[in-house]
Structure 1
Amino acid sequence: MFNDKKKKIVLIVVLILVMIIVGVSLDSCSNSMKEDQITHKTTTKQKSKSQLTSKGKNEKKDEQEVKQEETAKVDSSNKSNTSESKKENTTATTNTSSNKNNSSSSSSKPSSKPSSSSSNNSGTNNSSSNSNSSKPAEHTHNWVAVTETRTVVDQPAYDEQVPVTEMREHEICNQCGADLTGLDIDAHFKNSYFNGGNCGGFHSEWREEVTGYQTVHHDAVTHIETVTTGYRCSTCGATK
């Protein structure tokens, strides 16, 4: 019994030691993982900083190149303007010299009337420009439906002949059912006897008889409907 207790105690101690060793190893693993993550973050941050600095340098280079191109364009435009001004000065000097020559020649010759063709051309140009400027803007029609109401006949009017009835008394033979009203009843019985019949009595019945006709007028059955007959512009009044 004492040995069994010792064995159990030894096993418990061994298990406790194993658990402590496993815990220490897990802690070391987690610490190493955290260090790896921290190093990875720092490296990514350094990369992003280097990328940003390289981008900033490239952007500065691009701005400098754009400024250089703009200054070059301004210089070329200034040079072209100076050359044009020189050309205008030369043409002005030539025009003054030609005007002097013309004035000298005109003093020796009689003055001529100004040509009317230039004035006519200017008038036509002004009229054409005025006509072009005075053209009205294109009109867009606003079409509105034009409707009217119509009476549609579903059933036309008609007259009906209604019979007029009256209850009247009739004499009816009891044996053969013949209507003996207004006839000689005895003669009917005798003829029946000679012909092998057995008619010998009658009775009275009240029957409905048509005594005439009455005219009854029936009005037409109609309804009103709206019909579209066309379209009209609400602004200019055009129709289609």
Structure 2
Amino acid sequence: MMWKQGSRKSKNDVDEREIALDKQSKAARNDEQPGNAKSKKRAVFMVLGALLALCLAAGMVNCAASYKQAESIKRPSPEQVKKNAKTDPNADKDKVDEESQKAEEGVTDEPSGGNTGASKPETGGNSTSSGNGGSTGNNGNSGSNGGSGSSNNGGDSKPQHTHNWVPQTTVVHHDAVYQTIHHDAVVECRDICNQCGADITGNVAGHMEQSFLNGGSCVSHSNKYIETSPAWDEQILVSDAWDETVTTGYACSGCGATK
């Protein structure tokens, strides 16, 4: 009996140790899992951040390229305008000249602003050398004069002329149209008196009786084909006469240019 109780105690101790070891292993696994999950999350966030940065960089590059392309289309260079005019023989010369002039003005406008700023010190220097004594008051006036000169130069630029094309028309007269219809001659078979040559169609007996009573000699007749109506042409109106307004070209109401 003592031996059985000792064996039971030893089995219970073994079972308790195994249970304790299982608990420790589970706790260790639970401790390791959060660390692994955190590291995985960090790696995923880093990859996503890198992809977002690449997408933003590509978008900025595409935006810059499209902006440059749009600017080049809006403001083509004079060389590009002339090149397009050569390649397209049907292009309007006036429009090509206007576009080339706009392109040249767009190119020259930016340097002109920089030159006005650089011209101020030169005007001030000239005023000090020409002034007697080189007073600062004269220098200030010369600077203001230089500024007014630059503003006057900007105001002297000629405004762009836009053609106002007015259609030039003329009136073309169209005569009436007729159709000619030909009618053939009408030929009929008639009874003709052989003695007097009278047409007695439908009155043969009466003609003979009348001739006998009057002492005439009309006693016979014959059938002959006689033209009762000659051939003739008929004119039928198909369309009336009318006037048509036709555009012959265009003229600018401002400068008189034509196309």
Q: Please confirm whether the aligned pair reaches a TM-score higher than 0.5, indicating the same fold.
A: no
Query: Structure with the greater relative contact order (CA < 8 A, sep ≥ 6): 1 or 2?
Result: 1
Larger Rg computed on CA atoms:
1
More strand by share: 1
**TM-score scaled to structure 2, two decimals?**
0.32
**TM-score scaled to structure 1, two decimals?**
0.35
